[in-house]
Copies of this chain bind each other. A is one copy, B any other.
Amino acid sequence: MESPQTPRTATRKMTKVFKALADGTRQEILQLLEEQPYAVGEIVAKFDLSQPTISRHLSVLKEADLVVDQRRGQNVIYRLNDMALAASMRQFFGRFRSCQEVLR
């Protein structure tokens, strides 16, 4: 069940989502996960950044509910949270008349 959202908490949540999206590396991670789920180590291998840094970025994305993690043996698999991404998108842009025509 969805708990009711006040406009305030909705705004805070959107801010968290936008902050998560407001970084080039995190955008690239999301696009990577759009292909398929990946383990942290695999993601690290695709960037020129340290493992802790990537782990931090993943944490931010998770906090924003844009990805979901799942332990699989020694590995932790991250996958895109499609539904949450689409939902955030609807929620924010739905407030703008001019964007209504782009949403269905």
A86–B104 touching, CB < 8 Å: no
In the complex, chain B residues whose CB is within 8 Å of the CB of A93: 85-86, 89
In the complex, chain B residues whose CB is within 8 Å of the CB of A31: 95-96
Secondary structure of the A contact surface, majority rule: helix
Task: Find residues 68-97 in chain A having any chain B CB closer than 8 Å to their own CB.
Answer: 80, 82-83, 85-86, 89-90, 92-93, 95-97
Copies in the complex: 2
In the complex, chain B residues whose CB is within 8 Å of the CB of A12: 24
For residue A97, which residue of chain B has the nearest CB? Answer: B34
Q: When A15-B23, A15-B27 are in contact, do A96 and B85 touch as well, CB less than 8 Å?
A: yes
A1 at the interface (CB under 8 A from B): no
- Which residues of chain A have a CB within 8 Å of any CB of chain B? 11-12, 14-15, 18-19, 21-24, 27-28, 30-31, 34, 80, 82-83, 85-86, 89-90, 92-93, 95-99, 101-104
